[in-house]
Amino acid sequence: MHRLSLILAALLVAGPAPGDDSIGQIKTAAGSVTITRGGTESRAAPGDRVHQADRIATGADGSVGITFADNSMMALGPDSKLDLTRFRFDPTTHEGVFDSSLKSGTLAVKSGQIVEQTPFAMHVQTPAALLGVRGTHFVVRADAGAR
């Protein structure tokens, strides 16, 4: 958990480039980290953009930190799988929605402008629970075999 906190602390706040359909950017990556998009898996590296419907996965030696367009930050620990289910953000009003699904592993989150504008607009689904995010920081662990 401490390692995930350090990854979150190291993330720089920056959104996607104008005109880009990405929802965020990988800021840190160590070990095995992949992005699956449209059925194609590729190795992830700092600077890579993430999109709605991407799956981010880390191997046994992997960790990744991502900053999103609303300045939310997420850090995944080893052996984690996160689906970026739905992301919509209006940079003028700060209204939006952010839904993700942690299939397995560990996730640390610092919420951004979406949650500041509309509490509970961010949701993280796990195999055993649905978290409605109202606060600013949290860590969750999901066991792939949990029911």
Cα 125 from chain centre: 12
Mean pLDDT of each 10-residue bin along the chain, 147 residues long: 54 47 97 97 98 98 98 97 97 95 95 90 87 73 69
pLDDT score recorded for residue 20: 66
Q: What is the DSSP string of the chain?
A: -HHHHHHHHHPPP--PPTT----EEEEEEESSEEEEETTEEEE--TT-EE-TT-EEEE-TT-EEEEEETTS-EEEE-TT-EEEEEEEEE-TTT--EEEEEEEEEEEEEEE--HHHHHSTT-EEEE-SS-EEEE-SSEEEEEE-TT--
pLDDT score recorded for residue 128: 86
pTM listed for this prediction: 0.83
- Please report where in the chains the tokens 């952010």 appear, as a residue: 98
pLDDT score recorded for residue 47: 97
CA distance 8 to 145: 27
- Please report where in the chains the tokens 């992301």 appear, as a residue: 87
